[in-house]
Each structure stands twice: as structure tokens, then as C-alpha cells.
């Protein structure tokens, strides 16, 4: 439709002079047809009552449109399921293995030749632990070793423990010492 035709049609619907155009007559006819319809009664919502709601819910359940009370899980069951999920998550968080600690060591291990490598390893571990350092011992290819992360700057107690065992303090805090017997590869 063109703008002129639209205007004539709207004039006909509005009840103003639409002229003799087909669009104007069509708008006037629509107005007349709408005016001939009986007036609808206003919609009054029914009064709200618990008995009426119960009847409607019963009809809806009978028709299968509304779930029955037995189909709805009880609140206690939902709370128990939620509690089980929370307990499972807490257990997983507490028991999962810690991520392995990896570090790059710029310095090679200090190698010390001693008559009793195992005893020297145990003495160094004990001296470091006495100074408050967590030290770990290991054995690899006939060598007894000690691995520890030292704080920076190095506390005097740790420096004294290393000096007592004739071990040089590492430059970057990563201590690696291996004890071997004299002449071992």
C-alpha cells in the first residue's frame, strides 16, 4: 500500500470522511463491523479461596498436568543428598595429593668423600633439622645424599650447622650434598 492509501484507510477506520476510494471504504466497513459486535462483559477475576485452589490442583493432578505430592522429593532427602555431595567434595579436597615440588638447581651437588657416607648423611640431616631446616635424605648409585631448601639470607644457626659438617653454603638456597667413599666414581 502507498502512504496515501494508508491514510485513506485510517480515515475510514477513524470514522472521518474517507472519500470514495476503495481503501477508505474498507476502513469504514471495518469500523462498522467492530461497532456491530456485542459489548463484552468486563473480566472479573474469581475471588481467591483456598478451597477453590485445592479443587483446581486436584483437577490438574487428575488430568496429569500437575505432579502429585508423592512425585516430589521430600525436603529431608534433598538435604541429605546435598550433605553427601558437600562431604564428598571436602574429602576430595583434603585427600588429593599435593602437587609435586619441582625446582631448577643451578649448582651441581657438592660431593664429599668420607669413610662412612651413610653416617655423614644422617649427621647432616640431624644438624639441619636441629637448626630448623627440613632436610631429606636419599641414596642413588652408591651415593648418600641430602636435599634441602635453605632460607635466604642464611640464618647463623644453619651456617654453623653446615660449617660443622664441612659443607659449603649454596649460593641460591638449594642445598644438595652427596657423600661417597674415597675412590668411588
Would you tell me how many other CB atoms lie within 10 Å of the CB of residue 160?
12
State the pLDDT at residue 143. Answer: 87
* Dist CA 175 CA 169 (whole Å): 7
State the pLDDT at residue 86. Answer: 92
* Dist CA 30 CA 36 (whole Å): 10
* Dist CA 151 CA 132 (whole Å): 10
- pLDDT higher than 60, residue 13: yes
Long-range pairs for 113-116: beta carbons < 8 A, 24 or more residues apart: 113/179, 113/180, 113/181, 113/182, 113/183, 113/184, 114/179, 114/180, 114/181, 114/182, 115/181, 115/182
Q: Greater confidence, 83 or 172?
A: 83
User: Closest by alpha carbon to 132, among 155, 103, 110, 153?
Assistant: 155
Where are the domains positioned within the chain? 3-34, 110-180
State the pLDDT at residue 71. Answer: 59
State the pLDDT at residue 45. Answer: 67
Q: Are strands 135-140 and 143-149 parallel, antiparallel or unpaired?
A: antiparallel
The stretch 137-144 carries a mean pLDDT of 87
State the pLDDT at residue 78. Answer: 86
Q: How confident is the model at residue 3 (pLDDT cuts 50, 70, 90)?
A: confident
- pLDDT higher than 70, residue 140: yes
- pLDDT higher than 60, residue 172: yes
State the pLDDT at residue 109. Answer: 83
Could you report the per-residue pLDDT of 84-123, keeping only the tens digit for each? 999 988 888 888 777 666 555 567 888 888 888 899 999 9
Percentage of the chain beyond pLDDT 90 is: 11
Mean pLDDT computed over every residue of the chain: 83
Adjacent-strand bridge partners of 112? 179
Q: Is 6 helix (H, G, I), strand (E, B) or coil?
A: helix
State the pLDDT at residue 37. Answer: 84
Q: Which set of grid coordinates corresponds to residue 79?
A: 538435604
| CB within 8 Å of 37: residues ≥ 6 apart | none
Residue pair 144/137 in contact (Cβ under 8 Å)? The answer is yes
The stretch 68-77 carries a mean pLDDT of 71
Could you report the per-residue pLDDT of 16-31, keeping only the tens digit for each? 876 678 888 888 888 8
Amino acid at each position: 500500500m502507498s502512504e496515501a492509501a494508508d491514510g485513506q484507510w485510517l480515515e475510514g477506520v477513524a470514522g472521518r470522511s474517507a472519500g470514495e476510494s476503495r481503501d477508505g471504504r474498507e476502513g469504514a466497513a471495518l469500523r462498522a463491523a467492530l461497532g456491530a459486535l456485542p459489548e463484552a462483559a468486563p473480566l472479573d477475576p474469581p475471588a481467591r479461596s483456598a478451597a477453590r485452589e485445592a479443587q483446581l490442583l486436584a483437577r490438574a493432578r487428575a488430568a496429569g498436568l500437575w505432579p502429585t505430592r508423592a512425585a516430589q522429593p521430600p525436603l529431608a532427602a534433598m538435604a541429605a543428598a546435598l550433605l553427601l555431595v558437600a562431604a564428598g567434595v571436602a574429602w576430595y579436597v583434603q585427600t588429593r595429593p599435593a602437587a609435586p615440588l619441582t625446582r631448577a638447581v643451578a649448582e651441581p651437588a657438592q660431593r664429599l668423600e668420607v669413610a662412612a657416607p651413610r653416617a655423614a648423611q644422617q649427621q647432616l640431616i640431624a644438624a639441619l633439622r636441629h637448626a630448623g631446616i627440613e632436610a631429606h635424605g636419599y641414596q642413588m648409585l652408591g651415593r648418600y645424599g641430602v636435599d634441602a631448601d635453605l632460607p635466604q639470607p642464611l640464618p647463623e644457626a644453619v651456617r654453623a650447622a653446615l660449617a660443622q659438617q664441612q659443607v659449603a653454603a649454596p649460593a641460591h638456597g638449594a642445598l644438595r650434598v652427596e657423600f661417597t667413599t674415597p675412590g668411588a666414581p
